[in-house]
Chains A and B, each alone.
Chain A
Amino acid sequence: MNHLDTLRGALRSLRANRMRSALTTLGIVIGIAAVITMLAVGEGARRQVAEQMKSLGTNLILVLPGTVTSSGVRLGGASRNSLTEADARAIRQEIPGVVAAAPALRGSGQVVYGNLNWATQLYGVDGDYLVSRDWVIASGRKFDDNDLRGKAKVALVGETVAQMLFGGTDPTGQTVRVKGVPLTIVGLLASKGQNVMGQDQDDIVLIPLGTARGRILGSAQGRPDSVGHITVKMADGSDMQASEAQVQALLRQKHRIQPGQDDDFNIRNLSEIVEAEQASSGALSALLAAIASVSLIVGGIGIMNIMLVSVTERTREIGIRLAVGARRGDILTQFMVEAVTLSVLGGLVGVGLGLGGGLLVQRLLDWPVVFQAQAVLLAVVSASAVGIFFGWYPARKASRLTPVEALRHD
């Protein structure tokens, strides 16, 4: 018996019970549609997170000062002023693959322009900072060597600050006052939007490191070149773990820390955050897939149920087929093909509905949706797997009938 005949026969008997076939496949349709939509929505979310992570910089190493422990009381992160500009220079020169090592001082303050003012974050930075954060100038210019070395009273402002103080007009060339110090705005930073934590990255004013330390934020006690943190950017494709270890070894050496003693600084690798984020979105996808597969199983049981009914109803037909020479394998194949056809048709309809559902989510909820060929393939494969798995028992039952008992059935 050739395959085309088998398929044609299966389609014929499914057509004979159109309503029943449609209702039977509904479980599969819904299951597959759910799989497709959820994977698309999940992938969209994952990509968005990944995109944000990338803007944050996955090849960044953040070096923070250590904590002070005084009489057994630990004073929390960065309570110590252990990092210096010299550390940053050493990292830049001695660690292979470093693109930028940006020392920075962080503080906050009120920025005043005319009768407007705005509280924002103040960063004292050097020339590496924009490089390390992949930050682009929207208008104006970066700090040049004169600004940095001469502790010039200049500033770069973020989009939010420009919006608040200048109402969206180009602030370049204007002068603002920060803690009584007049600063000339030399450039506007391109907008970066929110970071993964939901913080507005554009709410910022950058000042040359020397200017910040000398005139605005002040230096730490007794350490003229101390900095708040160092952002190290590695070349793309660097082994982040190895680089981190190298930075640690270098700083331990420079800070003269004896073997066995704790570091007086902390190193954070942002890729850890990315990994955690991806792991959690992976867990979310797994959860969605689990929910979707429950509906697939329910759909499969529906198919099994109807196939069992069908085998009973068509016992006489099975008898006739056996009488004219069908082998047990032919009967098994016939019912398997029917079950699989049912589930694959359901799967295809489900794929269509799932794609439609995904587009609807995108349209109505403005949620990024990413369709993947693998997801569609997975859906169709799992639909046929459901058909094979749940069609097997009824088909086997049909093929085990003896011609005499099958023909006697009415």
Chain B
Amino acid sequence: MADNCPLIEVVDLARTYHVGEVEVPALRGVSLTIAKGEFVAVMGPSGSGKSTFMNLLGCLDRPDSGHYLLDGEDVSRLDPDQLSAVRNRALGFVFQSFNLLPRAAALENVELPLIYAGVHAHERHRRAMEKLALVGLAERAHHLPSQLSGGQQQRVAIARSLVNAPALILADEPTGALDTRTSLELMALFQSLNEQGMTLVLVTHEPDIAQFARRILLFRDGRLVEDHPVAGRHSAAALLEAEAGGVTR
């Protein structure tokens, strides 16, 4: 794979759902490219096709037509098991509702992708601890999700998404269940990951949150209607600092 090839290249991507007899076109031909190291926010009203687009990017669903090249490989025609392998190897997910296994400790949740990658217990443990430390939860490794706050749970989910060193992180409304301050902390974490070279695609309906990305895609009625860089991008870390300063003063 050449260095200059885009990480994501979708061509005329379409997906139609069948609800009984009725055909509901969710995505009607979307073409775009996302380069390595980008931080993209996907926006749009509900029913705009942004979730369908994310599912396709995340290899959780297959398009009816069009192509999706992930890091140069056409993944739009792979079978379910091959898609599992792609998700395991190349993708990390962060969900609005965190989606941690409720009965597994934080560490075990982070280890989960490594289990399916066939990594040995010892190595699994080491790598999961490393990512938990990265998100600042090393000392909470043995807590169950129910013993963690929402922000902490989402950080466990981020550690899980990072543990297999993926090429791309897909976040679906990651701040949807968090308060403003925790959302800011989360965005600061995303921005710092992006600065270290990680490619991120984030779905949100909050314009404030989208301002932390570098590029905004706007969907409407199953089509991409706007694609522009973020002017006057905010730094979540700086905002947090300013806020903390304001309180002490």
Contacts and interface: CB of A to CB of B under 8 A. Distances in A.
Contacts of A407: 60, 95, 99
B81 A329 contact: yes
B103 A12 contact: yes
Interface string A299-329: 0000000000000000011011111111111
A2 interface: yes
Contacts of A326: 84, 116
A262 interface: no
Interface in B94-113: 95, 99-101, 103-104, 112-113
B84 A325 contact: yes
Interface string A388-410: 00000000000000111001000
A323 B115 contact: no
B118 A1 contact: yes
Nearest to A12: B103
A219 B100 CA distance: 100
Interface in B58-101: 58, 60-61, 80-81, 84-85, 87-89, 93, 95, 99-101
Given A316-B99, A404-B55, A327 B60 contact: no
B117 interface: yes
Contacts of B113: 324-325
B162 to A, nearest CB: 12
B87 A321 contact: no
Given A327-B116, A403-B60, A404-B55, A322 B84 contact: yes
A388 B97 CA distance: 34
Contact of A328 (B81, B89, B118): B81
A330 B116 CA distance: 8
B107 to A, nearest CB: 14
A238 interface: no
Contacts of B164: 325
A16 interface: yes
Given A2-B118, A5-B115, A327 B84 contact: yes
A16 B60 contact: no
Contacts of A319: 99
A320 B116 contact: no
A317 B101 contact: yes
Given A321-B112, A403-B60, A407-B95, A327 B103 contact: no
A323 B118 contact: no
A110 interface: no
A13 interface: yes
A323 B116 contact: no
A325 B116 contact: yes
A320 B117 CA distance: 15
Nearest to B117: A325
B88 A324 contact: yes
A120 to B, nearest CB: 78
B215 interface: no
A324 B116 contact: yes
A408 B89 CA distance: 23
Interface residues of B, number: 27
Looking at B55, B88, B93, B116, the one whose CB has the most chain A CB atoms below 10 A away is B116
B89 A325 contact: yes
Contact of A1 (B81, B100, B115): B115
Most buried by A among B84, B88, B100, B164: B84
A2, A320, A323 — most chain B CB neighbours (10 Å): A323
B99 A1 contact: no
Main secondary structure of the interface of A (DSSP, over half): helix
Given A324-B87, A328-B81, A402 B99 contact: no
A317 B85 CA distance: 18
Nearest to B163: A324
A35 B115 CA distance: 39
A5 B103 CA distance: 15
Contacts of A330: 116
B223 interface: no
A203 B26 CA distance: 97
A5 B125 CA distance: 13
Contact of A321 (B61, B103, B116, B121): B116
Contacts of B85: 325, 327
B116 A328 contact: no
Contacts of A328: 80-81, 84
B33 to A, nearest CB: 24
Given A330-B116, A402-B61, A320 B99 contact: yes
B155 interface: no
Contacts of A1: 115-116, 118
A395 to B, nearest CB: 16
Nearest to B172: A407
| Interface hub of B61, B93, B101 (most chain A Cβ within 10 A) | B101
Interface string A267-295: 00000000000000000000000000000
A404 B52 CA distance: 9
A322 B91 CA distance: 12
B50 to A, nearest CB: 14
Nearest to B79: A328
B64 to A, nearest CB: 14
Interface of A: 1-2, 5, 12-13, 16, 316-317, 319-330, 402-404, 407
9 contacts: A16-B103, A320-B100, A324-B113, A324-B160, A325-B164, A327-B116, A329-B81, A403-B61, A404-B55
Interface of B: 55, 58, 60-61, 80-81, 84-85, 87-89, 93, 95, 99-101, 103-104, 112-113, 115-118, 121, 160, 164
Given A317-B101, A404-B60, 15 more contacts: A1-B118, A12-B103, A12-B104, A320-B101, A323-B93, A324-B88, A324-B113, A325-B85, A325-B113, A325-B117, A326-B116, A402-B60, A402-B80, A403-B60, A407-B60
Instruction: Kindly list the 8 A-B residue pairs having the minimum CB-CB distance in the complex, ordered from nearest.
Output: A325-B88, A325-B116, A403-B60, A324-B113, A327-B81, A327-B84, A404-B61, A320-B99
